[in-house]
Amino acid sequence: MSFDFKKEFKEYYLPKNKPEIVTIPPMNYIAVRGKGDPNQKGGEYQQALGVLYAIAYTLKMSYKSDYKIEGFFEYVVPPLEGFWWQEHVKGVGYSDKSSFCWISVIRLPDFVTKKDFEWAVLTATNKKKLDCSRAEFLTIDEGLCVQMMHLGAFDEEPKSVALMDAFLQENGYENDFSDERLHHEIYMSDARKVPPEKWKTVIRHPIK
């Protein structure tokens, strides 16, 4: 059976729908940076997803190629994630999506090295006829955070964020946003197949 990060690390991917404190260790990701409304059809964000998945599945299926990754084991591609911010805005302002800056990411298994990543970028570019050169191998160390499972549409996230903020105040913590520590979302539902009212999104904020 393939290794499934969601099942093996439930504390990171399947929190309850109420706030909790968690310490996140450093993780490696395939990452693509960009700006603009994620809902724009054929826009920069949609293109970024194409690049992420092309590389992710090239690595996942690498064992069927001539390229061998040391320590490889079969696994389920982890869920799509995103780090979001806006210039001169603390947290996230949901009303103006065109001003979003984002780093869209998919987690990499620990056995994938920078060299393996570079092979996958080149292979995906050639096989898919898709320029994957925008992608980067990115290590993120989130550290101390508050998180919860948000149920429903993205535009309703402020309700969950308000719960998280109240929880922090009650327990002696505060948000700790910076250029390196960002609003983080993990998408546990396939938005193409599930109605918005049933979407599950992990919301995670850096704290101190």
Q: Return per-residue pLDDT of the chain as tens, 208 residues.
A: 899 999 999 999 999 999 999 999 999 999 999 999 998 999 999 999 999 999 999 999 999 999 999 999 999 999 999 999 998 776 666 667 888 999 999 999 999 999 999 999 999 999 999 999 999 999 999 999 999 999 999 999 999 999 999 999 999 999 999 999 999 999 999 888 999 999 999 999 999 9
pTM attached to this predicted model: 0.95
Looking up tokens 């800056």 gives 101
Instruction: In whole angstroms, give the CA distance from residue 57 to residue 9.
Output: 21
pLDDT at 97: 82
Instruction: In whole angstroms, give the CA distance from residue 196 to residue 208.
Output: 32
pLDDT at 191: 83
Distances, alpha carbon 84 to alpha carbons 25, 37, 45, 141, 184, in Å = 19, 11, 12, 16, 6
Q: Which of 197, 55, 26 is nearest to 123 (CA)?
A: 55
Distances, alpha carbon 113 to alpha carbons 3, 49, 137, 151, in Å = 18, 21, 9, 35
Distances, alpha carbon 197 to alpha carbons 23, 31, 147, 153, in Å = 29, 28, 20, 6
pLDDT at 91: 61
pLDDT at 21: 98
pLDDT at 92: 67
CB atoms closer than 10 angstroms to residue 134: 15
